[in-house]
Amino acid sequence: MKKHTEIAVGIIRSQNCQIFITQRGEDSHLAGFWEFPGGKIENGETPYQTLLREIAEEVDIHIHQAQFLKVFKHSYEDRDITIHAYLVEEWDGVPFAKEGQPSRWVDQEDLNADEFPDANRPIIEMLKNLDKQI
């Protein structure tokens, strides 16, 4: 039976439509790819609680409000992933990668799905059309 992981991610978007992304560490699954900050949902946590905790731990910001976008599911050969995606546009602090991994701001329209794990491809597609939908 495959491992199943549920995660919550924050698409941290600035007022000028730039998205904050971080690079996966060398010791992680799919190392070297870029990702939206977030992490595994712990027992007893809601996806939103996980989002608040993980974003504070990883990028040192405190979310005021996040808009739930969608749940995405993806199967890799060795595991199944469920991603709860949130749009974060109001926060305190300045995002930075607290664990020392590379990080950067990217124009929303310039997000390149080839730089992300396959599970993130539909998120990037959605982001490229997001302002048309909202």
How high is the pLDDT of residue 134?
46
- Confidence category of residue 23, pLDDT binned at 50, 70, 90: very high
Give the total number of structural domains in the chain. 1
Give the 3-state DSSP-derived string for 58-127, with helices as H, strands as E and coil as C. Answer: HHCCEEEEEEEEEEEEEECCCEEEEEEEEEEEEEECCCCCCCCCCEEEEEHHHCCHHHCCHHHHHHHHHH
Q: Taking the complete model, does pTM exceed 0.75, yes or no?
A: yes
How high is the pLDDT of residue 132?
53
How far apart are the C-alpha atoms of 93 and 108, rounded to whole Å?
Answer: 21
The whole-chain average pLDDT of the chain stands at 92
Judge whether 90 lies within some domain. yes
Question: What is the domain range of residue 122?
Answer: 3-129
Binding annotation: 24, 29, 35-38, 58, 120
Judge whether 134 lies within some domain. no
Which CATH number fits the domain that encloses residue 19? 3.90.79.10
> Does the structure show a pLDDT above 60 at 133?
no
Question: Which are the contacts of 8, defined by CB distance < 8 A and separation ≥ 6?
Answer: 38, 39, 41, 47, 48, 50, 51, 54, 83, 84, 85, 86
Binding annotation for 8-oxo-dGTP: 24, 29, 35-38, 120
> What is the tens place of the pLDDT at every residue in 36-86?
999 999 999 999 999 999 999 999 999 999 999 999 999 999 899 999 999
Binding annotation for Mg(2+): 38, 58
